[in-house]
Every structure is written in structure tokens, then in C-alpha cells.
Structure 1
């Protein structure tokens, strides 16, 4: 590994100089899928046959899954109209690093992250954690907004965006250890300590990232505050407030309907992670069908993700062999069957951004009743599960508003 002092000067000028009190070695990193891998991918995709026509896959009903016509058209675009190198360039515009985190149970774990480091002594460290079927790429539009708005000298925050352990460009400790939410939380906390933020940081997450963040809020004193864009009722919780607006009632009905029709994927992930991991990762087209369904359905249908974005996210999963490694759902489903929930602090400052087309939501009255530590709440009129990708400007404004309410928690000057 290269010592910090040997960082590439171009990268260093673009928010790439870490704090002076860093206690780990960082290796500057640039993503570059080999030409051989790209050729192999295209050959596999070309040879992947689309399944036969059935009544179900000819319907334009998202509750039945993606249509055969969509998959055929997406495959054609993936083969002939998609430029992976463009997305690589966008990733490499930002400072990317790899480091090794030593965990008390997992041992040595390779961790990738991208960052915007500030030169300000009072900059607030913030770690952003993605979920499934997403990656650190989800936060790049938000990071671009910050990089355009600030210089290294004016940026009020240190922005740390990792690939979760077992996801993307991060590795895993050993094949003999199941990756759990608590293990991931511990590794992410240690990453922040190693980067020099042991005196305190803020954690943000959605989807799986929100589960990891809530565990960090309880298990790790270094996590001083947390913001989520997914907050749900825990088993056994029954809010007494009935003060819901008509819009909140509609959102809840939509969420409850999805629980009845869209949760099967998680049960498969959780109960048969080996089988689904092997099957879906056997073909680019299989991966596109499985992940593409989520990227199509889980967003605000008024503003769907562009096909190019969907293909980029699925390509990243393919090139990094992420899917069979990413199935934390096994633990999540076990907890669901047992009626357990991951712990969440009700003392540390909490912020919650509600995007109406997310898979699960918590209305304001319920959030205020259940969380006396709720210091920020914002209900949006648009946006879905991938908030930082769908609505990066609004997402960033929420996070900054939340950070602005933390007062002297970080001794802001």
C-alpha cells in the first residue's frame, strides 16, 4: 500500500487529502474493468437466451415482474448502446481509496470508499451507507453537487461513501463468516476511527444502510447522530396517534400493498441465499432481470430511472461479482420470523427523510411518538427507495439541514 503522503497530486487537489490524524494506510484506487472482462461479458450476454413467452411475462403488470419485451429491449441496448467506460470515468472523477480494516471478529477486511475530504478543522465527518440492490454509485450525484458548490477549503463536511463489506469493491473477512448487520456496522465504525474520526461522526443510510446505521447508533459511541431515509415500525410497536393526513394514509396503503406483493424476493434471499446467489449470478441477463425489476419498481413512477443508469448499476454488480456476496437478507429474514428488530438509539439525534414512494414509511406523528430524539423530519412529495439517486439535491438539502441542527455536538465554529 502507498502511504498517505504518496497520493496522486491530481486526486489530492480534488478533495483527496485525508485528515492529518489518520491511523491507516490508504491506497489510491481507480476502477478499470479489463478489456478481456468486457469482451467476456458481451459474449455471455449475447449467448444468454431470453426465456420463452408466457402469459405472465407478456403482461405490463409490475406485480408480475418485468416484462419479456422490456428484457429483450434492455439486452439489445446493453449490447449495442451502453458505454461502461463512461460510468467508470464518472466514478474515477472522485477520490477513491482502498484500505484494510481490522475487526475484532472478522479479522482483516479490504474496504473501498470514495471521499470528499475537507481542509476545515471543524468539518463534520459523515458516512453514507447504501443498500440493496444499490452501491456507493448511488451517492455520486450528491457528491458532485457538493464538489461543485465547495472547494476543499470551504467544504463543511468530510464525506465518506464506502462499498459495504461484501459489496462492490469491498471484500469480506473469510468465507467461513456470515456477514451480519452488526459485523458490518462494526467494520464501518472502525473505518471512521481509522480515518481520524474517532472523536465523533454522523452516519446516514437507506435500505440495508439504514439498518447498519441504527446499529451503529447503539453499539458505537463514536456515532454521535444519524439520519435515515428508511424508517419502519419495529415488531411490537403500535403507535397510538391517529393524526395522519390523507396523503400519509395513501402512502401507508401503498406500502402495505407492496408488503403483500413485492416482498417475495427478500424471503428467497433470506431463506435460500446459496441457491439464488448461484442462479442469478450465472448470467448477465439473469442479473439484469432480477435487479432491473427492483430498479424499475422501487422508484417514483413519475420519474423512473433512465435505462442507462439501470444498466450501469447492474453492470457494476456483474463486474464486481457482488450479488451472491450481498445477501445480508438471511439475517434480516431470520429476525423477521423471530419478531426481532435491530436496535436503534432513542437518545442520539435522529433525522428522517420520508420519500413517498419508498417501500416502507413512518408518518410524522408516529415518528415523533416513537422517537423522542427526532430532531429533523421532512416528508417529500416525490422520490422513492433510491433517494440520493432519484432526488440528490433534495436529499442533500435534508442531510445538511439535519447537520445544521446538531448545535455544538461537534463544536462547530
Structure 2
């Protein structure tokens, strides 16, 4: 039973309580009615294109709507979520007030278990890491699990709350709250942080600002403006092709981020007005940002969108717009050059740093893994390879904790 991994370590500072997700039947029925009544726009020259160059196609959205209404089973996904230990815990923050944080967890009964926090990004959620957690429960028992696995919903995402005061959530606040979560769970003496997308940026902040974070691993890496890239001559043919895709995405796929960064109120209200609008907006990202040779299934996309809808995630979670402002302003983003660092490169990620450049830029890069498959959602698309990287990284940095 997966629930046997839910034994909380004794004498911890915080007070987590078990949580079970249940969406009322009335809410499910209302969602179904909203989907049914949501119109799909007329055919245009752009929306008949199936290549994705103009975004989601009308045929895809039509099929997805029909599948959402006829075949999709939310209760199946809800049961899978609840098969893992889930908790909520209030986190006190001097700016945000008391923030109710949700997290899924696999707690070990080993005294020397390594605490690891996994931080998701946009348009993701803690659901991205459930396949990895399932692999861990198949590989270990609570007595043999070498890690305490903590998988939170980021502040203002999913089942977590946001600032209780009338203040804007910021990256620094979110990072501080995630660090405090680990402290309140009794891991203040040392833990590893892992993240992708927004989670990778929060991981970078945590690596610089909090001593409790002893090492960090990311599956998305962006050079700062003051970190000049190396020579193209140092790159393999595959790496050059990867960079070409990155440059193309920056030219053609960044419009959503500009909207988030400059008009978060408008886009939040627009996308919240219809479940079909939400499906088109973030479904596009699951399609475009994943490896096209092994795309994320429609059922998985629908589960992600349904979860966003029931938790009102989208309009709350746009504080990643701060990243856009920093990019436009050419600001650097914190990242530790002293703490041990690991980097997993999945070839269809949005942005990446080739091996030669990463090795030159980050002196304490102790693990670099290039994969032949996978995209932006590494833990979701390639959970086994993702987990293997994390486990190898943990073994390389264990000495940091001694």
C-alpha cells in the first residue's frame, strides 16, 4: 500500500494534516455543462493548420472537447492522486502571512534518508511527479526508501493557498515559503532541491538564499545575461540542433509569456471564463513543449486542465510573470556557483545549456545528463530516466551532508 509511506517523522516543528482530494459531484456536473455549452470558434485559415505553427488547431480542440465529455474520467485521476499520502500545512511568512501549503510525500523510515523537494512549473502541477513517485513505491518500501520525497503544490498553484495579506506573490516569497516547508517538516539541517520551469528558478533562488539547501538539481537551465555562452565549435551536431529549436521558440513561442508578464489580470480573467479556453491555452503548451515523438496523451492533458479548473490555478499562478519582466529587463537570476549542482537535459525542452557551456559556467556541476527523448516536462514524459538522474545525483552529493 502506497499509504504506508505516509508516516510523518516524529517531533517536527510544523503540523501537517492528512488531506484527501474530492471534487463534489455538483462541481463535476457543472464543469460538464460548461464544456458542453462552450462554443468552438469558426474555421479560419490559421486554425485548420495542424503543424502547431499558429497554435492549437480547431480539429484538435474539437476532438479534445468531445473526449472530455464522453471518455474522460476524473474520478480515476482523483483516485490515483489519493493513492499517495497528501497533506496540508500552514506556513508562516512575514510578508505573505499564513499560507496553506499542500504537498504529496513519500516518507522514509530510514534515519539517514535524504530529504528532496520537487518543484513543478507552469503550466504544471504536483501531478507531474506522481509517475516518478509510483516508481519509487514499486522499487522501495518505507523501510528501504533512501529519501524523503516532498512534492508540493507551489504557492498559489493547485491545492496550495496564497498570501493571506493583500500582497502580490513574488518569486522570493514563493522560494522562502518552500524552504520553510522543508524546515517545518524537520529538514532544516539539510535537503536537496529539484525543479523544472518555474520550479527551476525557485530552486536557483533557494540554492543561493538558504543554507538548508545543500545541493540542487534542475531539468531546465537558462544562462544569465552576464554568463556568456561558449563557442559553437565546442558543440555536437545534436546540441546545435537543440539550440536552433530554442532560438525558434524564442522567436515564435514567447507571446504567451509577454501577455502573462504585462497583462496578468486580463489573461487571468479571460482564461478563467471557460474550461475550453483553459484547455486551448495550456493544452497548447503540453503539445508544443513535449517531445513530438512521444507526445503527452490527451487523457493526461485533460487531467491537468481539469485540475487547474477545479483549483482555479491559472489566474492565481501568474506570479511567474516576474520572470518575464526580468528577462525583458536583462536581469540576472540567482544561482549558486558553490553548491553541488545537477542538470538533466531533455532534448525538446524550451531552453537549454549544452554540456561544454554548462561545464565552463558552473564549477560545481557534479552531474550532467543528456537524454535522447523527452521535453519540457521531464518528470512527466520520462519519469524513469528522470528518477535515475535524481538518484545518481543524490549519491554524488551525499558527502555534502556528512
Query: Under a length normalisation based on structure 1, what TM-score does the superposition of the two structures give?
Result: 0.96
Report the alpha carbon displacement of residue 33 of structure 1 after superposing the two structures with TM: 0.3
Deviation sequence 1:147-206 (CA, Å, 0-9, x none): 011000000000000000000000001362111111100000000000000100000000
**RMSD (Å), alpha carbons:** 1.1
Of residues 327-336 and 248-257 in structure 1, the stretch that sits farther from structure 2 once superposed is 327-336
Instruction: State how far apart, in whole Å, the 1-side matches of 2:64 and 2:332 are.
Output: 38
| Corresponding position: 1:248 with 2:248 | no
Find 1:260's aligned residue among 242, 251, 255. Answer: 251
| Corresponding position: 1:43 with 2:38 | no
Number of the residue aligned with 1:55: 45
Instruction: State how far apart, in whole Å, the 2-side matches of 1:260 and 1:58 are.
Output: 22
Find 1:142's aligned residue among 132, 147, 172. Answer: 132
- Does the aligned pair in 1 maintain the 2:230–2:356 contact within 8 Å? no
**Pairwise mapping of residues 154-233 of structure 1 onto structure 2 (< 5 A)?**
154-174=144-164, 176-233=166-223
SS across alignment from 2:47: helix
Instruction: State how far apart, in whole Å, the 2-side matches of 1:100 and 1:348 are.
Output: 29
The 3 A distance-change label for structure 1 pair 73 and 175 is: farther
Instruction: State how far apart, in whole Å, the 2-side matches of 1:61 and 1:329 are.
Output: 28
Instruction: State how far apart, in whole Å, the 2-side matches of 1:272 and 1:52 are.
Output: 26
SS across alignment from 2:53: helix
SS across alignment from 2:98: strand
Deviation sequence 1:47-76 (CA, Å, 0-9, x none): 100011111001112120011011011000
Instruction: State how far apart, in whole Å, the 2-side matches of 1:239 and 1:318 are.
Output: 40
Q: Runs of 4 or more off by more than 3 Å in structure 1? A: none
- Does the aligned pair in 1 maintain the 2:226–2:332 contact within 8 Å? no
**Pairwise mapping of residues 21-170 of structure 1 onto structure 2 (< 5 A)?**
21-170=11-160
Instruction: State how far apart, in whole Å, the 1-side matches of 2:383 and 2:144 are.
Output: 20
Instruction: State how far apart, in whole Å, the 2-side matches of 1:112 and 1:157 are.
Output: 19
Give the gaps of 5 or more residues in structure 2: none
Number of the residue aligned with 1:269: 260
Query: Under a length normalisation based on structure 2, what TM-score does the superposition of the two structures give?
Result: 0.98
Deviation sequence 1:28-58 (CA, Å, 0-9, x none): 1010000010011011111100011111001
Instruction: State how far apart, in whole Å, the 1-side matches of 2:164 and 2:109 are.
Output: 36
SS across alignment from 1:109: strand
Report the alpha carbon displacement of residue 27 of structure 1 after superposing the two structures with TM: 1.4
Give the gaps of 5 or more residues in structure 1: 1-9
Deviation sequence 1:257-299 (CA, Å, 0-9, x none): 1110001001100100000000001100000000110011100
- Does the aligned pair in 2 maintain the 1:14–1:94 contact within 8 Å? no
Number of the residue aligned with 2:270: 279
Instruction: State how far apart, in whole Å, the 2-side matches of 1:236 and 1:246 are.
Output: 26
Instruction: State how far apart, in whole Å, the 1-side matches of 2:328 and 2:197 are.
Output: 19
